[in-house]
Amino acid sequence: MLTTPERLLFTIFALITTYLTAGAIARLIRIIGRGRGRPDWRAAARRTGEALFKSVSFAPSFRARLGTGLLHGLVGWGFIYYLAVNLGDVLEGFVPGFVFLGQGLPGDLYRLGADVLSVGVLLGMIGLLIRRYLIRPPALEIRETTLLHPKARAGIRRDSAIVGAFILVHVGSRFLGQTFQLAAAGADPWNPFASALAGLWAGWTPRGQELAIHVFWWLGLGTVLGFVPYFPYTKHIHLFFAPLNFLLQPERPSMGTLEPIDFSDDSLQHFGVERLEHLSWKGLTDAYACIMCNRCQEACPAYETGKVLSPAALEINKRYFLNQEGSRLAAGKASSQTLLEFAITPEAVWACTACGACVEVCPVGNEPMRDILEIRRHLVLTSNEFPEQLQTAYRGMERAANPWNVTADQRLKWAEGLEVPTVQQQPAPEILWWVGCAPATDPRAQRTARAFVKVLKAAAVDYAVLGPEERCTGDPARRSGNEYLFNELAGANVERLNQLAPKRIVTTCPHCLHTLRTEYPAFGGNYEVVHHSEYLQELFATGRLAAGAADEAGSVTLHDPCYLGRQNGVIEAPRESLGFVGIELQEMPRRRSNSFCCGAGGGQMWKEEERGLERVSADRIREAKATGASTLAVGCPFCMIMLSDAAGDDLQVRDLVELVAERVE
């Protein structure tokens, strides 16, 4: 189809495009190489199938905004298919008489796919542009009070317009070129949409049809040559970085499991993260993978309640700063500003509840929560800058090994009159019950502990507690950035637990569960740890517990604690435990792994919430009351405390074991 001069011209343009694109890719590799650590390629090999499925199906995009996800899918599926289409079109243009994949069934199916997906891309892209520029839903905006790179607000809209125009011109030109080919050669049942439009050009002269085919060939493929070097600087580079995120995601027991700091390493020049290049390689990759869809912002309890934190703004700011200073970082130089100067404010850092909702909802596997916790480490350990209220909790953990500052001799006061055995009395129990600081010290949470004693006795469980020896697992210290204090607590706990070598550990607190199960292995503590809801489920299933007669519970709804459901995948156990005693739930809209935070995590329990429209707990209680339930069941003492404070008199907040204890024989 192409003349010899056209072939030469296209080849020159292709070489220029390749050179410019290779330079941009090399720059990206050098930038990401500045981050800490390296990918685990062995783990990546095990994850190839999963990464391929997510990348091709766009399944993560359908977890929220189904309609928008479908439009995005139409564009994405077509974009993937067009890798073959563009190759075929180049070959057909360069080789006279060549038909890509031939005239048989493979070629017919290929042409059908190209025809259908071309229309799909055009419809999807038009729908997305209408949504962004005409409908303009609030979900695409970021509040003015949130720190955002000065170029981002206009830049995102401009970038989307450029990319949208490229896709419409590229795919539209190719599709129109097909209609002219069919007008000249006759309709093709394997090109149904293009054949339906080919009749529009039936009156054109053969010369005019041939000229149109040439023009649209050049428009379709020429826009690719012009766009590809620009592509690495747009947000749409996520088309390549999202699959890399899926493939190279570090293997962790839970999304919230943090890596320890080796305080014995004298080569460490700083603790935590101050500058962009201090992030892990994954933290830098996230900035390129971000599609700027703001799903994480929608799920964030801090942003939802009017605070200045936006996980989306954090990733967007990182990306725009990388575009601005990428060459500097690629050359091995330090960035000119700290993260707190361009990416996120201190107020936003301390507004995070570490709930993991942003990580759970992200369709490309980004982890803004981890960046925030790393920044907290720097603020606490290096800068000594943190909310004053946390000092009380830190002092309590340092002196009395718990944030409530309750002395060891008071640790078992909650169990007076219950004959709760300690490990001194029962050194090799069937289970070691890790009571936790809140059930041992907070008056409201103590009811949970006393109810669990009743259940354990009803099931004749051989158990023991640490009693005065039990100390905080260190979760509040780690989530608020005091890694050194966490190290001290974790080291002491692991040493004692390893001496006891418990068969199983049961916790009544998801934060204790998370820390003991997923974070202590890094300190040499490997234990089988279950939540009390899981243990209740097991006792019922094995016949050790049976439901008895009880008063009518009234309507009950269930709050899934973030560190139980989302972070550790314990979702069915609370429901089944309540179901065993005949309690049917009125579920809230945000539930299971999509549950909304109570507001206590990330150290928020021991400090004042940042300014906003309302408290996180108030938002959650409003949702619970909307179900019409008279009782809100929880499975976490932190949730118990926060939600009880917000509930008022018309909604009871009770731990699920309290409800179970009233209904067992």
The string of pLDDT tens digits covering residues 230-249 is 989 888 899 999 999 999 99
Question: In the Cβ-directed half-sphere of 268, how many Cα atoms lie within 13 Å?
Answer: 14
Residues whose CB is less than 8 angstroms from the CB of residue 581 and which lie 6 or more positions away in sequence, other chains included:
547, 550, 659, 660, 663, 664
Distance CA 576, CA 116 (A): 46
Q: Is the pLDDT of residue 422 over 80?
A: yes
The string of pLDDT tens digits covering residues 112-161 is 999 999 999 999 999 999 999 999 999 999 999 999 999 999 999 999 99
| Coil/strand/helix, residue 654 | strand
Architecture of domain 276-382: Orthogonal Bundle (1.10)
Query: Which has the closest alpha carbon to 521: 259, 265, 334, 199?
Result: 259
The string of pLDDT tens digits covering residues 504-547 is 999 999 999 999 999 999 999 999 999 999 999 999 999 999 98
Res 392: pLDDT: 95
Confidence grade of residue 43 (pLDDT, cut at 50, 70, 90): confident
Percent of the chain whose predicted confidence (pLDDT) is above 70: 99
Confidence grade of residue 1 (pLDDT, cut at 50, 70, 90): confident
pTM of the model: 0.94
Q: Is the pLDDT of residue 361 over 90?
A: yes
Percent of the chain whose predicted confidence (pLDDT) is above 90: 92
Phi, psi of 463 (to 5 degrees): -135, 170
Average pLDDT over residues 193-205: 91
Res 242: pLDDT: 95
Query: Which has the closest alpha carbon to 477: 393, 535, 584, 409?
Result: 393
Distance CA 644, CA 621 (A): 9
Res 593: pLDDT: 95
CB 78 within 8 A of CB 117: yes
Q: Is the pLDDT of residue 552 over 80?
A: no
Res 203: pLDDT: 85
Q: Is the pLDDT of residue 553 over 90?
A: no
Residue spans per domain, the chain: 64-229, 276-382, 390-661
The string of pLDDT tens digits covering residues 71-106 is 999 999 999 999 999 999 999 999 998 999 999 999
Average pLDDT over residues 250-275: 91
Confidence grade of residue 550 (pLDDT, cut at 50, 70, 90): low
Res 296: pLDDT: 97
Query: Which has the closest alpha carbon to 65: 366, 362, 310?
Result: 362
Q: Is the pLDDT of residue 548 over 90?
A: no
The string of pLDDT tens digits covering residues 448-495 is 999 999 999 999 999 999 999 999 999 999 999 999 999 999 999 999
> What are the tokens at 392?
């009380």
Distance CA 84, CA 188 (A): 20
Confidence grade of residue 598 (pLDDT, cut at 50, 70, 90): very high
The whole-chain average pLDDT of the chain stands at 95
Checking phi first, is residue 392 left (phi over 0); if not, alpha (psi -120 to 50) or beta?
alpha
Confidence grade of residue 551 (pLDDT, cut at 50, 70, 90): low
CB 368 within 8 A of CB 354: no
β-pairing verdict for 463-465 and 505-507: unpaired
Res 549: pLDDT: 72
Res 285: pLDDT: 97
| Coil/strand/helix, residue 477 | helix
Residue 522 vs residues 218, 268, 450, 530: alpha-carbon distances, Å: 57, 19, 32, 18
**Other CB atoms closer than 10 Å to residue 259's CB: what's the count?**
15
Instruction: Report which DSSP code applies to 201.
Output: G
The string of pLDDT tens digits covering residues 276-320 is 999 999 999 999 999 999 999 999 999 999 999 999 999 999 999
Give the number of residues written for the chain: 665
| Coil/strand/helix, residue 309 | coil
Average pLDDT over residues 195-218: 92
